[in-house]
Amino acid sequence: MIILDILFSLIFIVCAYRVRNLYAFNGGEKKLISLIFVVHTLVCFVATPILFNGGDAKGYWMVPKLFSYDQIWTAVKENPRPTQIMYLINYFFANVFGLSFLTGMLFYSFLGMWGFVLILATIKSFIPDLRVLRGAKVYGIPVYPLVFLLPNMHFWSVGIGKDTLLFFSVSLFMYSLLALGKRFVGMLVAVAIAYFLRPHVLLFMVAGFALPYVFSSRFNIIQKVLMGGAMLALFFPLLNSVLAFAKIEQLSTEHLESFHEGKAAALSVAGSGIDLSALPYPLQVLTFLFRPLFFDAHNVLAIVASIENLIQVFLVLFFLKNRFIRFIRKANFLIKGSFFYYMIGAIAFAPMMSNLGIIIREKNMLMPAFLIFVLAAIQFKRQQRYRYGR
């Protein structure tokens, strides 16, 4: 099995490095992707012992080794929960080939790296040469390529588990939207991953990226009605899946309050939560988006997360300060959809995610959209400055 581990490890590392060649990047952009690859791979090796000794990743890889395919498939059919689906996804590499946990990490690291490449390919649709972002600063902070090197974003996109798959799914979803006719298979893959692992994330994406179409002046009332009907046709089945996933019996104030209180109580017992129940709703959203900060930091990882969140605070302040409503109105559907998806996700997650670790993980699936609309806003501001001298 050692020979297979070495072989597959090399294959996954080479694939992570070479995946950039699937897309039309210039030499300067490939250098950036090489830098991202180095950081991403280093984080993978650092994260491997951490995730092996704590968290869900070890179970996702080791449990499939203990059961036959028929047993796992039966478990999926009887109870198609994300955990059982993860066992099924990992069965081939973990059981059939008997690959080690490290090799599994390198496979997921490849998927996470592919997600970063897809984000960059998506950004190239409205910034054809990413090198123009060199020198872009926000409050004196050089944002390019810094925003692609944030350690926590890489940490939660290298591990064996749902977080990496969802990061890849969101990135693939947005990239596929650019040319849906040619990338329909990619869209199906993205939708399938999100639907089976986190249906609420798919619901947020459908809502976020449908809104620009519904409110666009480019479409007449008949087209808007048709698109609105298609959106509703997708919305309600997804809503039922979300309610079943969250174990909420029906969509009512009483059931939602009960669900929220149950989550808060569980986090209180665990001793790892923040009591948000007394905070106004806007502060709950801000807590989800920008905590932990330094006053929350109790270890090295929390300090790193605090630095990253402070950078995100500066980026959001820049976005809000620079006529963001005008920018969103003028932006294309992909940038608008990214903004709406990010906001819908933050607004929906905020009341339920009061555990700092869960906050960081759940927010990571919003980061592809965040990178897209923030970098678009920075480029828009630079173009305005060059055009009008302001």
- E strand residue ranges, the chain: 137-138, 141-142
Residues of the chain with pLDDT > 70: what percent? 82
What is the per-residue pLDDT for 225?
A: 74
Q: Which DSSP symbol is given to 94? A: I
The vertex-138 CA angle with 133 and 140, nearest 5°, equals 110
What the block records as the tokens of 334 is 């992909």
Which pLDDT tens digit goes with each residue over 46-103? 999 999 997 789 999 999 999 999 999 999 998 888 999 999 999 999 999 999 999 9
The whole-chain average pLDDT of the chain stands at: 84
| Secondary structure of residue 138 in the 3-state scheme | strand
Contact between 207 and 337 (Cβ < 8 Å):
no
Task: State residue 355 phi and psi, 5-degree precision.
Answer: -95, 125
The domain ranges of the chain are 1-197, 245-390
Kindly indicate the confidence band of residue 141, based on its pLDDT and cuts at 50, 70 and 90. confident
Kindly indicate the confidence band of residue 263, based on its pLDDT and cuts at 50, 70 and 90. very low
Kindly indicate the confidence band of residue 18, based on its pLDDT and cuts at 50, 70 and 90. very high
What is the per-residue pLDDT for 257?
A: 46
What is the per-residue pLDDT for 240?
A: 61
Which pLDDT tens digit goes with each residue over 112-132? 999 999 999 999 999 999 988
- Asked which of 119-123, 154-158, 360-364 is least confident by mean pLDDT, the reply is 360-364
What is the Cα–Cα distance from 247 to 357, expressed in whole angstroms? 22
pLDDT at 352 > cutoff 80: no
What is the Cα–Cα distance from 193 to 166, expressed in whole angstroms? 7
What is the Cα–Cα distance from 283 to 14, expressed in whole angstroms? 44
Q: Is 135 left (phi over 0), alpha (psi -120 to 50) or beta?
A: left
pLDDT at 9 > cutoff 70: yes
Which of 268, 281, 273, 322 lies closest to 139 in space, CA to CA? 322
Q: What is the mean pLDDT of residues 347-352?
A: 79
Task: State residue 142 phi and psi, 5-degree precision.
Answer: -70, 110
Which of 325, 323, 328 lies closest to 381 in space, CA to CA? 323
What is the per-residue pLDDT for 275?
A: 58
Contact between 136 and 378 (Cβ < 8 Å):
yes
Residues of the chain with pLDDT > 90: what percent? 51
What is the Cα–Cα distance from 286 to 309, expressed in whole angstroms? 11
- Asked which of 86-90, 160-164, 219-223, 339-343 is least confident by mean pLDDT, the reply is 219-223
What is the Cα–Cα distance from 149 to 157, expressed in whole angstroms? 12
Bigger pLDDT: 104 or 258? 104
Beta bridge partners of 142: 137
What the block records as the tokens of 340 is 């709406």
| Residue in the structure block whose two tokens are 């897309």 | 23
Q: What helix, strand, coil percent values describe the chain, rounded to 5?
A: 75, 0, 20
- Asked which of 99-108, 272-281, 288-297, 305-314 is least confident by mean pLDDT, the reply is 272-281
